[in-house]
């Protein structure tokens, strides 16, 4: 089992898409283990996107991500990081494949509705940033879990 951080960005919240976006992850079989809506502090957003600090879009990205409420979601599942990234689609909504969140709901490269951690290290860092050192996350097993994963699956 792996955990990853998803953010529904301000455009997704403003457009009333929080429910439909979360539904994509839930119906896929990923488990919500953390959920919060906040206007996150600029310092936190700067740290979250620190790897892009030198990119030309950094300032506008920080402005966008602090322009309104964001929903932070912690998801758990087998290969949760890659599964989540696949459900999100390519960065640019105009290029993202139909069926993906960005492909179905967006037309922009900056206002692209969702963030998802891109690897185990960033997932650990980002989960800690948005949820603290595990304190806000919930360990639980859905009753229907045995119908999501086949225990006989080989590797
Ligand atoms: N972004 C942008 N302009 C660009 C590239 C990216 O505004 O030319 C924003 C966009 O919101 C994107 C975020 O910066 O989601 C982080 O960029 P990254 O390349 O990591 O894309 P992601 O991993 O989110 O697909
Ligand atoms: Mg990225």
Whole-number Å distance, alpha carbon 29 to ligand 2 midpoint, is 23
Determine the pLDDT at residue 47: 98
Please, is 130 exposed, middle or buried when counting C-beta atoms within 10 Å of its C-beta (0-12, 13-18, 19+)? buried
48 is catalytic: no
Please say whether the beta carbons of 81 and 4 come within 8 A. Answer: yes
Determine the pLDDT at residue 8: 99
**pLDDT > 70: percent of the chain:** 99
- Residues contacting residue 131 through CB under 8 Å, at least 6 positions apart: 5, 34, 36, 72, 74, 137
Domains of the chain, by residue range, sit at: 2-135
What residue owns the CA closest to ligand 1's atom 1?
110
Per-residue pLDDT of the chain in tens (155 residues, 90 and over written 9): 999 999 999 999 999 999 999 999 999 999 999 999 999 999 999 999 999 999 999 999 999 999 999 999 999 999 999 999 999 999 999 999 999 999 999 999 999 999 999 999 999 999 999 999 767 899 999 999 999 999 998 76
Whole-number Å distance, alpha carbon 81 to ligand 1 midpoint, is 17
Determine the pLDDT at residue 124: 97
pTM: 0.97
C-alpha R_g of the chain? 15
Given the residues 5, 8, 115, 131, select the one marked as catalytic: 115
Determine the pLDDT at residue 133: 73
Please give the CATH number for the structural domain made up of 2-135. 3.30.70.141
């Amino acid at each position: 089992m792996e955990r990853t951080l998803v953010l529904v960005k301000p455009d997704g919240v403003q457009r009333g898409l929080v429910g439909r976006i979360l539904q994509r992850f839930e119906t896929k079989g990923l488990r919500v283990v953390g959920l919060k809506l906040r206007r996150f502090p600029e310092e936190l957003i700067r740290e979250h996107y620190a790897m892009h600090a030198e990119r030309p879009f950094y300032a506008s990205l920080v402005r966008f991500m602090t322009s309104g409420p964001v929903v932070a979601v912690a998801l758990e599942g087998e290969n949760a990081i890659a599964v989540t990234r696949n459900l999100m689609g390519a960065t640019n909504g105009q290029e993202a494949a139909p069926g993906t969140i960005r492909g179905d709901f967006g037309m922009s490269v900056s206002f692209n509705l969702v963030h998802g951690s891109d690897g185990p290290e960033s997932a650990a860092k980002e989960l800690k940033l948005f949820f603290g050192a595990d304190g806000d996350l919930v360990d639980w097993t859905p009753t229907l879990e045995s119908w999501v994963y086949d225990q006989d699956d080989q590797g």
